[in-house]
Amino acid sequence: MSNQKEFRVLSPTAILGYGFPESSFKKGIERKPHLIAVDAGSTDPGPFYLGAGKPFTDRAFVKRDLRYMIKAGVAKNIPVVVGTAGGSGASVHLEWCRQIVLEIAQEEKLSFKMGVIPADVEKQRVKQALAEGKISPLACVHELTESMVDETTYLVAQIGTEPVADALEAGCQVVLAGRCYDPAVFAALPIMKGYDPGLALHMGKILECAAIAATPGSGADCALGTLTEDSFILEALSPKRKFTCESAAAHTLYEKSDPYHLPGPGGMIDLEKCSFSDLGDGRVEVKGSRFVADETYRIKLEGARPIGFRSISIAGTRDPIMIANIDTIIDEVRQQLGEMAQENDQAQGLFFHVYGKNGVMGPLEPQKETGSHELCIIIEALCPTQAQADTLCSVARSTLLHYGYEGRISTAGNLAFPFSPSDIGMGKVYEFSLYHLLETGDEKLFQVRVEELVNGELVKES
């Protein structure tokens, strides 16, 4: 255990680029944190951003957030660690974030060492592991094939705490990691200093969403975590929010299929003996979290591949007759489209999302009766080419617009369109091709590149 009695971690925002109040950040800095860490990405926005190599956060606000963090970190000698840089953490995302950091360093004339940790995995390495039986799917995920690997545009693995610790041990004041296990950026440094890994990782799991875990929650506000020898303490940094036992426990359950066990690189957090205590003043103390190492080190692989092109049309209806019979009308429109398309049918890639009825849950929606006085219908066409998607969407939209369903009174049109043009080409569509576990054993997949900046200029790489 470190001689240091406590270790304080400042989490500025739920995702880099979501922003935070300056007052909350300044209050966090006044608490003299030993680490500023932030999660910069997620798979939550879907496979497009990984597959297309694009960020899902706004560059201007990412730069705004980073400027606060890096200026404070360099001035006060506080390490700044960013995980899943650029949103999805592939090489292109990592470089996007790196360029923002270089801009800030140059504009502010800052001097520091930066560790850059790519998370990309070579396809041949994955195919070899697949052949050796060292890859397994997560729950409800397809079996992996070599062709899926070949079709994948960007393929990453989740970095654990070890490579982040390597960068910090190398003297890096700023660390940019590619795709990263969310708690790792918060837990690597305290684990390195001898704090309990179960507590550090559990605290990181909560801090990765910053003040979302407080009440009222916000993804655009700061939180502070304090590790002690046998616990960690959570507190919000805005007078508008506080942590409660309920809010902290609820966020512990966030993104988990098992309430007691949270797997990650190399092991899992065991929460069977975890407890939450209210310390007053909006602070909650957590005890009992343990880390249980796996016999074989495994990490999560993520990859996305293109599967076609999409076009959509957004429309509304307020006709009570159409609303009452919407399922039948859509089925009849599908049938008519199939008859018109014949052997060139692309209608298998046609979807109707009916918001106000079951647009969120689809066939899983338990409420079968429609109580809405209006519906929003999104027509989606997914086809091998954009031209085919545009055609299918156009024909589906015009067919539904003028379809003569039973009981219809007005013949001017069934739908109201909020936008002109009514059809929107969405471009290439991706799906997750890899969402699997890779057994790595003692193999070291991730290398740290150290860059040195002096007065904002990059002077050395190693």
- pLDDT tens profile 380-439: 999 999 999 999 999 999 999 999 999 998 888 999 999 999 999 999 999 999 999 999
Contact 133, 124 (CB under 8 A): no
pLDDT at residue 3 is higher than 70? no
Query: Looking at residue 338, what is its pLDDT?
Result: 87
Confidence band, pLDDT 50/70/90 cuts, at residue 460: confident
Query: Looking at residue 145, what is its pLDDT?
Result: 97
Computed over its alpha carbons, how large is the radius of gyration of the chain? Answer: 25
| pLDDT, tens digit, 9 for 90 and up, residues 72-118 | 999 999 999 999 999 999 999 999 999 999 999 999 999 999 999 99
Three-class secondary structure of residue 224 per DSSP: strand
Query: Looking at residue 410, what is its pLDDT?
Result: 81
> Residue with structure tokens 């879907």?
46
| pLDDT, tens digit, 9 for 90 and up, residues 222-244 | 999 999 999 999 999 999 999 99
Query: Looking at residue 18, what is its pLDDT?
Result: 97
Confidence band, pLDDT 50/70/90 cuts, at residue 444: confident
Contact 146, 128 (CB under 8 A): no
For 416, the token pair is 């109201």
Taking the C-alpha atoms of residue 45 and residue 108, their distance in angstroms, rounded to an integer, is 33
For 175, the token pair is 């660390």
- Which amino acid would we find at residue 214? A
Query: Looking at residue 65, what is its pLDDT?
Result: 98
What does the domain layout of the chain look like in residue ranges? 7-119+158-297+440-457, 306-432
Query: Looking at residue 428, what is its pLDDT?
Result: 97
Closest to 25 measured CA to CA, from 53, 82, 64, 81:
64
Taking the C-alpha atoms of residue 329 and residue 353, their distance in angstroms, rounded to an integer, is 13
Query: Looking at residue 2, what is its pLDDT?
Result: 52
Query: Looking at residue 110, what is its pLDDT?
Result: 98
For 277, the token pair is 């205590």
* Average confidence (pLDDT) over 129-147: 95
Q: Return mean pLDDT, the chain.
A: 95
| pLDDT, tens digit, 9 for 90 and up, residues 292-346 | 999 999 999 999 999 999 999 999 999 999 999 999 999 999 999 988 876 556 5
For 195, the token pair is 């704090």
DSSP β-ladder status, 449-454 and 112-117: antiparallel
* Average confidence (pLDDT) over 192-197: 97
Extended strands (E) in 274-334 = 275-280, 283-287, 290-293, 298-317
pLDDT at residue 462 is higher than 80? no
Three-class secondary structure of residue 252 per DSSP: helix
- Collect all residues with Cβ–Cβ distance below 8 Å to 284 and sequence separation of at least 6: 233, 234, 235, 243, 244, 245, 247, 248, 276, 277, 278
| pLDDT, tens digit, 9 for 90 and up, residues 10-69 | 999 999 999 999 999 999 999 999 999 999 999 999 999 999 999 999 999 999 999 999
Query: Looking at residue 166, what is its pLDDT?
Result: 97
Taking the C-alpha atoms of residue 95 and residue 296, their distance in angstroms, rounded to an integer, is 31
pLDDT at residue 154 is higher than 70? yes
| pLDDT, tens digit, 9 for 90 and up, residues 217-227 | 999 999 999 99
- Collect all residues with Cβ–Cβ distance below 8 Å to 281 and sequence separation of at least 6: 235, 242
Query: Looking at residue 257, what is its pLDDT?
Result: 83
Q: For a pLDDT cut of 70, what percent of the chain falls above it? A: 98
For 239, the token pair is 């007078």
Taking the C-alpha atoms of residue 350 and residue 381, their distance in angstroms, rounded to an integer, is 5
- Give exposure, 251-278, as e/b (b: 16+ Cβ within 10 Å): bbeeeeeeeeebbbbbbbbbbeebebee
List beta partners, residue 458.
453
CATH 3.30.1380 fits 306-432, yes or no: no
Taking the C-alpha atoms of residue 10 and residue 80, their distance in angstroms, rounded to an integer, is 10
Q: Picking from 14-23, 177-186, 345-354, which range would have the lowest pLDDT averaged per residue?
A: 345-354
| pLDDT, tens digit, 9 for 90 and up, residues 255-289 | 778 889 999 999 999 999 999 999 999 999 999 99
Taking the C-alpha atoms of residue 352 and residue 334, their distance in angstroms, rounded to an integer, is 10
Count CB-CB contacts under 10 A for residue 4: 13
